[in-house]
């Protein structure tokens, strides 16, 4: 398999995993928000394969999920937010993997996740919905604060999964 085919296949599998895990196991947290296991897949792709794969899996995964479940409702904001989160987390994780201190690496990963999820969900998603639905930014940010908390929890929980899968690959 050549590089382009492998890249497309790998990301297609990631998108499918994002959708399946998001649809199959939903743990309710707030109102109509739940812990989305698709974010574990997105973070694994950011950690293992970098910014392009993380952004593709996160943004196209949410597009496919929304099309299958709720149509266009919420899709533009989630897509833009996940695109930004995937790009920045992918770049940061690839650089942070080189740190020797496990605690420093993990602490910086948590910081990047929290900051980028704030930018992606509270900022970009809220702004997109504010423009599309003509609602005040403060209202959108308040509604998206539930998603922010739930998504941050799942992304932080994914850090040991990322490290475990990366260690397993290096052991082979």
Which CATH number covers residue 144? 1.10.1760.20
Residue 104 belongs to a domain: yes
Q: Is the pLDDT of residue 39 over 90?
A: yes
CA 167 vs CA 3, 53, 161: distances in Å: 23, 19, 10
Under the banding of pLDDT at 50, 70 and 90, the label for residue 133 is confident
Residue 166 belongs to a domain: no
Query: Which one, of 20, 6, 47, 29, lies nearest residue 165 by Cα?
Result: 47
Per-residue pLDDT, averaged over 120-138, amounts to 93
64: which DSSP letter?
H
User: What sections of the chain are H helices per DSSP?
Assistant: 3-24, 38-49, 51-69, 75-96, 102-117, 126-133, 137-171
Q: Is the pLDDT of residue 171 over 60?
A: no
Residue 169 belongs to a domain: no
- Domain with 130, as residue range(s), is 3-160
Residue 171 belongs to a domain: no
Q: Is the pLDDT of residue 152 over 90?
A: yes
State percent of the chain over pLDDT 90: 71
State percent of the chain over pLDDT 70: 95
For the chain, the average pLDDT equals 90
Q: What's the token pair of residue 88?
A: 């920045």
Helices 51-69 and 75-96: crossing angle, nearest 10°?
160
**Count of structural domains, the chain:** 1
Per-residue pLDDT, averaged over 147-154, amounts to 92
Q: Is the pLDDT of residue 24 over 90?
A: no
């Amino acid at each position: 398999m050549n590089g382009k085919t492998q890249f497309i296949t790998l990301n297609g599998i990631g998108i499918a995993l994002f959708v399946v895990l998001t649809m199959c196991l939903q743990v309710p947290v707030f109102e109509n928000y739940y812990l989305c296991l698709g974010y574990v897949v997105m973070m694994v792709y950011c950690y293992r394969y970098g910014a392009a794969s993380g952004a593709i899996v996160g943004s196209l995964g949410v597009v496919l999920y929304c099309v299958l479940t709720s149509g266009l409702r919420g899709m533009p904001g989630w897509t833009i937010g996940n695109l930004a989160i995937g790009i920045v987390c992918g770049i940061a994780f690839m650089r942070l993997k080189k740190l020797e201190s496990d605690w420093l690496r993990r602490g910086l990963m948590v910081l990047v996740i929290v900051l980028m999820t704030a930018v992606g969900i509270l900022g970009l998603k809220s702004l997109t919905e504010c423009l599309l639905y003509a609602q005040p930014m403060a209202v959108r940010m308040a509604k998206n604060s539930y998603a922010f908390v739930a998504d941050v929890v799942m992304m932080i929980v994914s850090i040991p999964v990322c490290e475990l899968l990366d260690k397993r690959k290096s052991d082979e």
